[in-house]
Structures are given as structure tokens and as C-alpha cells.
Amino acid sequence: MSDAKHAYRKTLSQRIFHFLGSMDLAITLLLTLAIASIIGTVLQQNQPYTDYLLKFGPFWFDVFESAGLYDVYSALWFLAILTLLVSSTSVCVIRHTPAMLNDMRNLRTHVQEKSLKAMHHRAEWRSDKAVINLASDLESRMQQQGFRAKQTLIDDGILVSAMKGGLNRLGYIATHLAIIIICVGGLMDSNLPLKLAEWQGRLTIETRDLPTSQIPAESRLPVGPQAFRGSINIPEGRSSEVAFVGMRDGYLVQELPFKIKVNDFRIEHYATGQPKSFETDLVLVDDDLAQPIEQTISVNHPLFHKGYAIYQASFSDGGSALSLQAWPLTKAAGKETVEFETKVFESREMIWGDQSLKLEMLSFRPFNINPDPTDDEPDRIRNFGPSFGFKLRTKTGEALEYINYMLPVEKDGRSFYLSGVRTSPAEEFGYLYLPVDVAGGLDAFSQFLTELHTKEIVESIAHNMMLETLADLPNSTAELEQNLEQTLVILVAMFIDNGFQGVAEFIDTAVPENERDNLAPAYLGMLQEMLARIYFNSHDGFEIDNTDSEQLAFLQDAVSAIGSLPRYGSPVYLMLTDYEHVEASGLQIARSPGKPVVYLGCALLIAGVFILFYLPQRRFWLLVKAKSGVTTVLLTGMSNRNPREFDVFFEQQKQILQHGNGNS
């Protein structure tokens, strides 16, 4: 019974061994790796998870995340396939190398005459030379052609065996070894050790936005032989001794054995304003060096040190200092303009009236070459000048993202301050146009807005408008006068709180359905009249009917802007008045110990493929026999590659062997 179990186990182990070395398994693994590589090329790898979530939606985001498609080359299944391919190829090499090496040396001197006559390439002729002499001549001739040749005595003659291109079998061994070496190099550069450390609880991926000094030790990687690819943004004049390695929805901090300082960052632009090239003056300080390394790096021209490669990858803002003015847009925000200083990436609590919001400064750009949202032609681009991006976040965590431009933009011959707003990065910005007055600022618009929020002014103008409207009405009553005055005040309040949409909802609620078609235009007309009277209230001597077209156009633009404020979502408009631009160089730092191994594998693969395709193995046999007083020669040959080319080669050898020896 024990012998049967032993035989079964031996058979099972042999089956597993042969399965690992099978061609079917190898092809399946290679195809799977090819498909995975296509996915890794098409789907951008190692991006922030929020980008994938916005791009694919919650359902497909979870599906792709579970499959590890956001970091294909470090996914567990990809590494498992790579390991299995190494095992499979190694078994192939172990199984076939002894036979290959033996085939390289073996001239096959025991081939039967029956087998020779069955070969496709064969020829026969006769000679008057003795068998021994002819066999020696043929052997010498084959050796002159670069073949290894050997004579073997048989029962009724001599067999001359010859072979050329025995190294062809080395091509098979070299290509298979190359695959093993390349895969091993890939495994060396994978983050498999990081995954193992994470599984063991020794490593924790950090997802919080923390200062480098506050990142815990379990999220830090010490200096070591491990492979990594990290990035860091270093402002001009500052330095760093770490790199940030992106991992799924977080990051790890990789310690460096040296310090990198950015002395200066330079960028060149095309005439359109688009970036053309950028470079960084680096200083690398290493305690093992007598002098720091000073070098300018640019795209495709990295700095190499101790197996680390430092690439110029990108650029960003380095914490530019901004001077801002906050113009109130709501009654709660007050009447006065507030000035304050801030920096990009700075967050602070801002209190406007009874509203507390967190101001998060996101970005600054000194100029913007963008499609013109004020133009109907989508391909029209223009330089909008400096801009800054920020978020206003409530205590509940909800936030609106804004982008404000420093300089006014022109639309339809009039100037506006432009402010974009959106609720999420997946949306396009919607723009608020604040009209610029004749002095080039927002004073006239702000004054108009303040008067709209002043109850005494609105009620006074509503009272005067009521008296003028009912002056010629003989049956006017105190109740009618009071209702009309209250309606005018309510219309203005509705407009301020909810824009024209709020006025339309008020009309739908307050006016009977059968009278809406007639009264709705009247209500809108009264609102427009009220807005005009309030605007011109501070303009002594102005008559609405005699006002110039520029003033009326400004009023129309101001009313449109105020009607959009309920959707703008901010109690203030932040205006950029001055800035000090600080740039940061985006560096990518990589350590790849498996790269030399991969290069070695590639060189071996090239050599192996060259040997396989351009050094074919060719074998010839010449059977020399004496028959009825005449010596006969049977020539046969075979090649393991290029049979059509071998047809010509065989005929050439036949002519050399037959006629070169004086045969008939």
C-alpha cells in the first residue's frame, strides 16, 4: 500500500513538473501578461483615486480597484503570473538543456540507411575511387566548408556525418534564460516587499494630508536596496530628503541617503504662452561626498547618484504670496471691502458676517492661455493673465471650487471681472461676470449692491414709485397703495435672495393662474423699474429716460450679475491685487536595482534570437558503399530552419561534393 502511495506521489509530482514546463502553460502566461501590459498602457497608472472615481463612477471604480488595474504591474495577480512564468521557463530549461547540449555535440553517427533514404533532401552518384579514399576526401571537403565531420564504419561501407551551426541550440537556451532574467528583474523592481510588509502590519499607507514631520514611522520607508518610484515638489530655495511614493489611495514616505536642494527653476514658453521647456538647478548634498553635486537637469536629462535617478518631471506653484480684497456680495458680509494676505496651499477660517467658511488656497498661475468662454468659437484662445484657485468649505465639509482672474476681460465691448465656480472637479466652471465701472474697478457695482441691501432706500424708492404710479388713478385707496408698495419691496427682496428664478416662483405662488399671463409682465416691469431707480438713486441729476447707453449697459450687466449671485455660493468676491510668484520644481526620484538585470536579459534575448534565426543547424550524411565493383555515394541533409533556403544550399553542397572530387 505504501509503495502504491509512493508511486502515486511520484506520478503526481512528475505531472506537476511536466505541466509547469509545458508549452501550453507558457503561451497562456505570456498572453495574459501581454493583455495586462495593454491594460497598464491604456489605463494611466498610479493616479489619485479621486481621479479614477470621477472618471469611471463608483461602480466601475470599485470593480477596477478590486482587480488591481490602477497599479497593474504591482498587482498580486500580475506578480503571481510573473513568478509562475519564471518557474515554467526554468522547468523548460532544466528539462531540455541536457538534450540541447548533447545535440550540439552529437553528429548522429548511427543513422540507418533506411532513414537516410526517407529524407527529403538526398542525392546519389557513383565514383571509381576506393571507399576509404572517397570517404576521406568527402570528410575533408565538408571540413573545408566549415562542418564538423566524422567517419563511422558500418557493415558494408563508411558513413560520413557532418554538422554546422551546432550553436543554434544555444539560442534556445539563451532566449529562455533571457525570459527568466527579465522576469526576475521585473520582480526585483516590483513592490512585492511593500505588500508583504503591509500584510504583516509593519507598514501602513498614509491617506491624510500631513506635514512631512508629522507622518508616522509606520508610513516611512528607510534607506535600503528596495526599488521605488516617488515624486516631490520642491520650491525654489528649499530642499528635501524624502520622496513620496503613491500607493493606492494614499502614499508612503521614502527616506533618501542625500539632500536635494532647488537653487533655481526656469521655464520657457512658446509664443502662445504654452510651456516649451523647463529645467532646474539642483544641489545634491551627500555626507559621503567631499563636495556637493551641482547639476542642471531637464526633461530626459536626469541626475544619477548611487543608483538613484532624479528626473525633471513637472512644475507647480511653490506657495506664492497673494494679496486679496474681499468684496461683499451679501448683506451679511457687510459693506466694507476687506484686504488680507495669504499663500497658496494655506488654509484659514474666514468669518463674513454670521457666516464662517474655511478658505483653502489651491493654486496660482501668472498667466493662462485658455479657450475663451466669452467667445462663441470654441477654438478661440486668449491670455487671461494671472489667476488663483481656491475652495470655500462649510463646517459640514461641503465645498465649492473657484478660479478668479486678476485682470478684467472684455466681452461685447464691455469689461468684466471673471470668476469661475463649480461643485466638483468633474464639472466645467460656470462663470460670474462682474461689470467694471468707468474707474476700472467694482466700486459702482458694490455701491449698487449695497443700496439694494439697504432697507430704507428700497422702501423710500418703492413709496415714491407707488405715488407716481397711482397719481392719475382717481379710485386709489390706502390699501391699494400699501399693497403696491409692499409688492415692490418684496420683488426686490426676492430678486436679491434668488434672482429672477425667485421672482418667477413668487409670481407663480402669489398670482392666480388665470391672471398670470397678464400680471407676470407687469411684475417684471415693476421690478426692472425699481432696480433702475435704486441704481440711479445716488446719481444726482440723472433721468432714466435720458441716461446714456453706457450707463444703461452697465445697469443691465449689474442686474445680470446680481441675479446670478444666489448660484455663485460665496458671500464675497475675492480680487487679486498683488502677488509674489514662487515656483516649485516637480522631481521624480527612482531607484531600480532590477534595471541592470533586465538589460542583461534583453542583451541575452537579442543574442539568443540572432542565433536562432541566423545560425541554423545543418546536418549532412554521406553513405559511401562498394557495390558490384563501383563505389556509390548517398548524400542526405536536413536543417532546422528556412527549408527553402536549404534547398539552394543543399544543391550547392551537392555540386561541391560531387564534382569537386572528380566523380562522374
The pLDDT of residue 401: 96
Q: Which segment of 487-491, 547-551, 650-654 scores lowest on mean pLDDT?
A: 547-551
| Contact by Cβ (8 Å): 236, 582 | yes
**pLDDT over 70 at 542, yes or no:** no
Task: Estimate to the nearest angstrom the gap between the alpha carbon of 228 and the chain centroid.
Answer: 17
Dihedral angle computed from the Cα positions of residues 554, 556, 558 and 561, in that order, rounded to the nearest 10 degrees: -140
Q: How far is CA 614 from CA 136, 610, 640, in A?
A: 30, 6, 11
Please, what is the average pLDDT of the chain? 88
More confident of the two residues 549 and 529 = 529
Q: What is the residue type of 600?
A: L
Q: Which segment of 245-249, 407-411, 607-611 scores lowest on mean pLDDT?
A: 245-249
**% residues pLDDT > 70 (the chain):** 94
Instruction: Fold for 205-318+585-593, please state it.
Output: Tick-borne Encephalitis virus Glycoprotein; domain 1 (2.60.98)
Q: Which segment of 62-66, 79-83, 216-220, 274-278 scores lowest on mean pLDDT?
A: 274-278
The percent of the chain in helix, strand and coil, each rounded to the nearest 5, is 45, 30, 25
More confident of the two residues 166 and 435 = 435
Q: Where are the domains of the chain?
A: 2-102, 110-165+616-659, 205-318+585-593, 321-437+574-580, 448-572
| Contact by Cβ (8 Å): 188, 227 | yes
More confident of the two residues 347 and 21 = 347
The pLDDT of residue 276: 82
Q: How far is CA 418 from CA 411, 414, 421, 573, in A?
A: 11, 12, 10, 10
* Spatial distance between the Cα atoms of 534 and 496, rounded to a whole number of angstroms: 13
More confident of the two residues 380 and 62 = 62
* Spatial distance between the Cα atoms of 272 and 250, rounded to a whole number of angstroms: 36
The pLDDT of residue 159: 94
Give 17-53 pLDDT, tens digit per residue.
888 878 888 889 989 989 988 988 888 887 778 788 8
* Spatial distance between the Cα atoms of 232 and 236, rounded to a whole number of angstroms: 13
Q: Please give the helix or strand (H or E) that residue 657 lies within, else none.
A: helix 643-659
Angle (CA) 357-363-364 rounded to 5° is 120
**pLDDT over 60 at 545, yes or no:** no
- Environment class of residue 627 by beta-carbon count within 10 Å: exposed (0-12), middle (13-18) or buried (19+)? exposed
Confidence tier at 1 by pLDDT (50, 70, 90): very low
pTM above 0.75, yes or no: no
Residues in the chain: 664
The pLDDT of residue 223: 93
Top mean pLDDT of 108-112, 266-270, 480-484 is at: 108-112
**% residues pLDDT > 90 (the chain):** 51
Beta strands in 130-176 (DSSP E): 148-154, 157-164
* Spatial distance between the Cα atoms of 472 and 487, rounded to a whole number of angstroms: 19
Q: What is the mean pLDDT of residues 83-108?
A: 90
CATH class for the region spanning 110-165+616-659: alpha beta
**pLDDT over 70 at 297, yes or no:** yes
Q: Which segment of 276-285, 450-459, 520-529 scores lowest on mean pLDDT?
A: 520-529
Q: How far is CA 124 from CA 141, 254, 634, 636, in A?
A: 17, 75, 5, 9
Q: What is the mean pLDDT of residues 364-385?
A: 72
**pLDDT over 70 at 541, yes or no:** no
- Environment class of residue 512 by beta-carbon count within 10 Å: exposed (0-12), middle (13-18) or buried (19+)? exposed
Q: What is the mean pLDDT of residues 63-74?
A: 86
